[in-house]
Amino acid sequence: MSDADVAMLDALFTQSPLGLRLLDTDLRVVRADSAAASKHGVAVEDLVGRRFPDSARGAAEPEELALLVRRVLDSGVPVMGHVVRGRPPTDPGRERAYEVSAFRLHDPRGQVLGVALMGVEVTDREKARAHAAVIGAVRERVGRTLDALVTCGDLADTLVPGFADIAVVEVVDSMARGDEPPLAPLPAHVPLRRVAFRSSADGDPPQAYQPGDVRSLPAPTPYTQALSDLRPRVVTLHPGLPWLATDPARADAIHASGAHSLLAAPLTLQGTVLGLVSLYRTGKSDPYDEGDVEVVLAAANHTALCIENARRYAREHTIATTLQRGLLPRRPVSHTALETAFMRATDDRGGGWYDTISLSSARTALVVGKVSGEGINATATMGQLRTVIRSLAESGLEPDELLARLNDTATLLAEERASLPPRDPLYREALTASCVYAVYDPLTETCTVATAGHPGPVIAYPDGTVALPDMPTGPQLGGAEDIPFATATVKILEGSVLAFSSPPIPVTDASDGSGPLQRALAQGERPIHDLCDELRYTHDAGRDSVLLLARTRPFPADRVATWQLDDDPTAPATARRLARAQLRAWNVDEDAAYNTGLIVSELVTNVVRYGSPPLELRLINDRTLTCEVRDTSPAAPHLRHARTIDEGGRGLFIIAQLAHVWGTRYTADGKTIWTEQALP
């Protein structure tokens, strides 16, 4: 070997930025570079002749490194870029990372000479990779739900144990309930709710306060300072810190955990304060530095955005829930011939609704519908349609005509939505709704049903059989189809159960041919509310389902009186006499009986004068006293105010004054004029 070769070889081992070592077949150091040796606080002379793992001072796993070198020596397969970690004697407080490569050496005849080992410090690179991995994990795992508390728990789970040994997440208590977060600086009296605590320690790690604890932070501390100016704080912890005395419980927990480094970062968004993240490192973990601050800021910003989304969702959910509870009936209305129960299995953000409406002549309207979409807009639209239905129902419209007029309202609402600016989120959501409207008449034991994009009712008969009557299905409300609605009338036996649902309850299924309703009714006569619960247990209808059950009961025959009247001038007197006699039999108050006599007289007089025979008078003693007069003329009566000198024209005016409510109901063979009076 020439002098130049020797000089270059010496320069390589004294000037190389890489750590170089040559090992013989016994893994003894033959030669080592002086620069790497000095970095580890070891003289080159002390390394030469020493074997692995004694010569691998500073490596985290010297035995593992020795095995790696032995495999290279035995197999001849080189190892490139293997990362080892250690704490060099010159700086034992921080862990370092080294990238190691090794390959076997041979002489010109192929004889194995030993192993060449090279290493370079890659601490900054590995830390950057670890930081990027933490940020990536936070973005992947945090914010998968619209629950602020779960989001905070996911953040703590992601940071421990890889980035922190202990993580504490606290949020502003009022913000957790959906209120607007306060502006920075956070006032001292604002309480924080501890929502997450995670520790890498085994057993029951010490903590100052349990999750769920709500309290204001004592000041001044690094926590309150971070919430004041919205800048993270990195603090080296030791017992002599004066601010620890402001919160003895927290100080005791820090001391018991062995924490030596704190990183406190605010959860903030657009100048508002949502909460605080407190991270601790214990034991041999490296203390936090400015590079770690950047990681926590990225994680905190992502988490704060997720918490704000969850808060907005919670606020909208609260508003939608409050609005919907105000719009839907609180409890079933009592009906003489109908027992009802309802169930709404939903998160209170959907557009499903139900209703039972008392109609004239002891009839009851049963309604179930659903508006497309969810949230406040769907709830508001549902309330509009429900109000329209109740108003139309009071006018006595048949189900098909009621849905036709309801469709006019839904179409108008859809057109208003379509005219919104394109940037409005509702512009892209077409407004449609489905509805089934049924009227049950206990005196004829029939149910007249019309549907709009919605299935009809399922009927469970007293013998346990279940049927889905065949009936025409009209178009959805608010759609473009110009298709008329139609009705179907079904005979209903006493003791039958009508089930209206959205989505529909299957009558049969593929498993045994019997549906949930059949299985629920198999146990015989059950209370309607128990039946409703049973269907909820056995039928999973999804996150926004509505169920309305109605069991028919016989209307007492002694509370209905019907008479056929002659079409002659004596009919009013006859009707008045029959009505008063019946009211005496029902023990109706004299004043109410007198008023009813006047009402009956005026109704019959109006029909005799302007109607067509045959004439019929019917009294119904239900929740109110109903008077009905039927004839076959389609002519509609109207209320007018007679002048002082007029001899007639006061009939309907008198009726309107005496009756609680009155109206006209049309059928295929004529009309019925009815009144209702409140009974004492």
pLDDT at 582: 92
What backbone phi and psi angles, to 5 degrees, belong to 543? -80, -15
CA dihedral (416, 422, 425, 431) positive or negative? positive
Residue 59: pLDDT band with limits 50, 70, 90: low
HEC profile for 451-514? EECCCCCEEECCCCCEECCCCCCECCECCCCCCCCCEEEEECCCCCEEEEEECCCCCCCCCCCC
CATH 3.30.450.20 is held by the domain 3-121? yes
Q: Provide CB contacts within 8 A for 609, sequence distance 6+.
A: none
Mean pLDDT computed over 250-254: 92
Spatial neighbors of 74 by CB under 8 A, at least 6 apart, are none
pLDDT of residue 642: 44
Length of the chain: 680
pTM for this entry? 0.65
Question: DSSP 3-state assignment of 307?
Answer: helix
Distance CA 25, CA 277 (A): 54
Same-fold call for 3-121 versus 330-552: no
Residue 15 has pLDDT above 50, yes or no: yes
pLDDT value at 150 more than 50? yes
d(CA 276, CA 233): 11
Say if residue 45's pLDDT is above 70: no
Q: Are 489 and 398 within 8 A, CB to CB?
A: no
Asked whether 300 and 277 are in contact (CB, 8 A), the reply is yes
Please, which residues bridge with residue 546 across strands?
A: 344, 502
CA 615/CA 604 separation, integer angstroms = 8
d(CA 26, CA 20): 17
H or E stretch including 268? strand 259-269
23-37, 192-206, 448-462, range with the lowest pLDDT:
23-37
Q: Residue range 174-178: average pLDDT?
A: 79
7-21 average pLDDT score: 71
Helix, strand, coil share of the chain (percent; to 5)? 35, 30, 35
Read off the pLDDT of residues 274-312 as tens digits, 9 standing for 90 and up.
999 999 999 888 899 888 999 999 999 999 999 998 888
* Residue 34: pLDDT over 50: yes
pLDDT recorded at residue 662: 84
Domains in the chain: boundaries: 3-121, 127-316, 330-552, 557-677
Burial bucket for residue 584 (CB in 10 Å: 0-12, 13-18, 19+) = exposed
What's the alpha-carbon Rg for the chain, to the nearest Å? 42
Q: Angle at CA 397, nearest 5°, toward 391 and 402?
A: 70
- pLDDT tops 90 at residue 232: yes
Residue 647: pLDDT above 50?
A: no
What is the identity of the amino acid at 516? P
pLDDT, average across residues 551-569: 89
Section 176-200 average pLDDT: 87
The yes or no reply on domain 127-316 and CATH 3.30.70.100 is no
Give the domain 330-552 fold. Phosphatase 2c; domain 1 (3.60.40)
pLDDT of 230: 92
Residue 231 is predicted with a pLDDT of 93
Both tokens assigned to 51 = 């074997």
Most confident residue range from 57-66, 125-134, 315-324, 348-357: 125-134
Q: Are 362 and 336 in contact (CB under 8 A)?
A: yes
Strand partners of residue 666: 671
pLDDT (tens digit, 9 = 90+) per residue, 390-435? 999 988 889 999 999 999 999 888 888 888 887 777 767 788 889 9
Which CA distances in Å does 2 have to 5, 8, 113, 186?
A: 5, 10, 21, 75
**pLDDT, mean of residues 130-151:** 90
> Which pLDDT does position 645 carry in this prediction?
40
CA distance 133 to 124: 14
pLDDT for 552 beyond 60: yes
pLDDT in tens, 82-120: 887 777 666 666 777 788 888 888 888 888 888 888 877
The predicted model gives 360-385 an average pLDDT of 86
For the chain, percent of residues with pLDDT exceeding 70: 84
CATH of domain 557-677: 3.30.565.10
472 pLDDT more than 60: yes
Instruction: Report the pLDDT value the prediction gives residue 97, as an integer from 0 to 100.
Output: 79
- 582: three-class secondary structure by DSSP: helix
Q: How confident is the model at residue 172 (pLDDT cuts 50, 70, 90)?
A: very high
